[in-house]
Structure 1
Amino acid sequence: MLAIFLQTLPFFALIGLGYGAGRTGFFTPEATAWLTKFVFYFALSAMIFRFAANLPAAELFDPAFIAAYLTGTMAVYLLATAVALIRRRGVAEAAVEAQCAAIGNTGFLGIPMLAVLLGEAAVGPVMMVLAVDLIVFSSLIVILVTGSREGRLSPAILGTVVLGLVKNPMIVSIVLGLCWSAFRLPLPEPAAMFLVLLGAAATPGALFAIGASLAARSAERLAVAGWLSFAKLVLHPAAVAFCALVLFDVRPYAAGVMIAAAALPVAGNVYMLAQHYGVAPQRVSASILISTAASILTVPVVIALIATL
């Protein structure tokens, strides 16, 4: 357990470094925004494309894996939605809270960290998790929030969802990489080296950007944020583990990667969506802050548990 904690510590230390830089004002919010943009559109995209281009498409698409993750995540999503509605929150707020409870920081934290801790073989399963999160749940929150405001599901809403997916560099990188792999195209050495160099900036850049962005977060509405953090860090990996190991019999290694990905803290893009739609951004901000801080302890515990699979 201590050995795993020490392995994860450098990743969270980078987040802490970014937090300190942002908290002291050395790294301004504008600088954080530009660093995040660089990582999102360039470094992380290069890393994902390189991994996908060298990954057989048949290994990535696993129906049992996708069904297990989708079922477990949807269970937690519906639970968080029900709790919000019982508290007499509207559909829009319930959708945002459900997103906090079920969607982790897979892109910025999961791919870089789990590829190192669990090996490059973990990248395929993590990308499946990322694809489900982006295609299903990121679309769902847009549909629910916009539909609740307009009172109906219009073609314009569906158009917004499709456009968002097409413009998302993570989705584009996965699709292009898999197409490259499917056609068995070789990567020229200069291109491969370019992707290695650019992708190498993804891990430190993403972790530093997470920390710097946390410096601007507030810790208001602690009761709700605490519940959402508990749902994300404990209930989500537990539900996914049950579905993967009991209901769908996913291969042990892939199941372990899935469970580790589900144990990640609340994704930063949930705050971006909440802020964009003006729905409970402070609640989301507090959930990201609390879950990220708590994950320093909870993620090593989950990784230690999946090591026994």
Structure 2
Amino acid sequence: MLAIFLKTVPFFALIALGYAAGRTRFFTSEATAYLTKFVFYFALSAMLFNFAANLTLAEILDWRFVTAYLWGCAIVYLLATAVGFLRGLPVTESAVEAQCAVIGNVGFLGIPMFVLLLGPESAGPMLMILATDLIVFSSLIVILITGSKEGRIGLRTLRTVALGLVKNPMIVSIVLGIAWSSTGRDLWQPINEFLTILGAAATPGALFAIGASLAGKTAERVSVAGWLTFCKLVLHPAAVALAALVLFPIDDPFAATVMISAAALPVAGNVYMLAQHYGVAPQRVSAAILVSTTVSIVTVSLVIGLLTG
């Protein structure tokens, strides 16, 4: 367990470095926004394309895997939604809290960390989880918020969802990578080296950007943030583990390990972007991200340590 924790320390140290740079204003919020944009549109996209281009669709798409992951997510999503309703929250706020409970920082934290921590073979399961999160849950929250505000789910809502998916560079990178892989041809060496160099910037850039963005967040409504952190770091991996190991047993134990470990990741930053964009409880999401990321320094290591022995 200690060995796993020590391996995760450099990743969280990079987050801490970014946080310090943000808190001291050495790295302004504007600089953080541009760094995040660089990582999101260029470095991380190059990394995802490279991974997908070296995998076949059969290696990425496993319906039993997706079913187990969705079942685990759905249970926690419904629980968080029900608790929101019991507290008298409207549909929009309950949907945002449910999103916090099941959407982890797979793109910026999970993939860079797990590829180095668990090995390159973790890329396939991680790409599947990332695609599921983006396609299913990012679409769901937009539908729930816009449908609740407008009183109905119309063509404009569905068009917004479709455009969001088409314009998401992570989805585009994965699709293009799989498309290239299907040709059976290797990438031209200069292009492969270009993508490798650019993709190498994703890990330090993403982790630093996470820390710098956390510097602008506050831990208001700590009780709610604590509940959402408990959902994300404890209930989510537990539900996914139940699904992957008992209800829908995954044939590949390593893939199950990656799935459960991914479920233990802290709340993703894109939940805050959606909450801020629609004006639905952004401070609450901000607090959940800050608290869950801090606590995950211990819990992620604990989950991976338990799973890998």
TM-score between both structures, scaled by the size of structure 2:
0.99
Tell me, yes or no, if structure 1 residue 76 matches structure 2 residue 82: no
Deviations 1:183-230 (A, max 9, x none): 112101100000000000000000000000000001101001100001
Pairing of 1:15-164 with structure 2 (within 5 A): 15-164=15-164
Deviates more, 1:249-258 or 1:206-215: 249-258
Deviations 1:64-113 (A, max 9, x none): 10000011011111110000001010000000000000000000001100
Q: Give SS of 1:218's match.
A: coil
**Equivalents in 2 of 1:279, 1:107: separation in Å?**
23
Counterpart of 2:52 in structure 1: which amino acid?
A: A
Deviations 1:151-204 (A, max 9, x none): 101000000000000000000000000011111121011000000000000000
Residue 299 of structure 2 is matched in structure 1 by: 298
Tell me, yes or no, if structure 1 residue 276 matches structure 2 residue 277: yes
**Equivalents in 2 of 1:29, 1:64: separation in Å?**
42
Q: Give SS of 2:185's match.
A: coil
Counterpart of 1:306 in structure 2: which amino acid?
A: L
Deviations 1:6-62 (A, max 9, x none): 000000000000000000000000000000000000000000000000012111111
**Equivalents in 1 of 2:247, 2:28: separation in Å?**
47
**Equivalents in 1 of 2:239, 2:24: separation in Å?**
39
Q: Give SS of 1:128's match.
A: helix
**Equivalents in 2 of 1:166, 1:130: separation in Å?**
15
Residue 2 of structure 1 is matched in structure 2 by: 2
Residue 175 of structure 1 is matched in structure 2 by: 175
**Equivalents in 1 of 2:66, 2:38: separation in Å?**
30
**Equivalents in 2 of 1:40, 1:74: separation in Å?**
27
Residue 262 of structure 1 is matched in structure 2 by: 263
Which stretches in structure 1 are left out of the alignment for 5+ residues?
A: none
**Equivalents in 2 of 1:295, 1:131: separation in Å?**
22
Report how far residue 306 of structure 1 moved. Answer: 1.1
Moved over 2 A (4+): none
Counterpart of 2:213 in structure 1: which amino acid?
A: S
Residue 290 of structure 2 is matched in structure 1 by: 289
**Equivalents in 1 of 2:166, 2:216: separation in Å?**
29
**Equivalents in 1 of 2:10, 2:78: separation in Å?**
35
**Equivalents in 2 of 1:184, 1:70: separation in Å?**
31
Counterpart of 1:26 in structure 2: which amino acid?
A: F
Deviations 1:229-252 (A, max 9, x none): 010000000000000000111121
**Equivalents in 2 of 1:283, 1:259: separation in Å?**
25
Aligned residue pair count: 308
Report how far residue 305 of structure 1 moved. Answer: 1.1
**Equivalents in 2 of 1:175, 1:136: separation in Å?**
16
Which stretches in structure 2 are left out of the alignment for 5+ residues?
A: none
Tell me, yes or no, if structure 1 residue 239 matches structure 2 residue 218: no
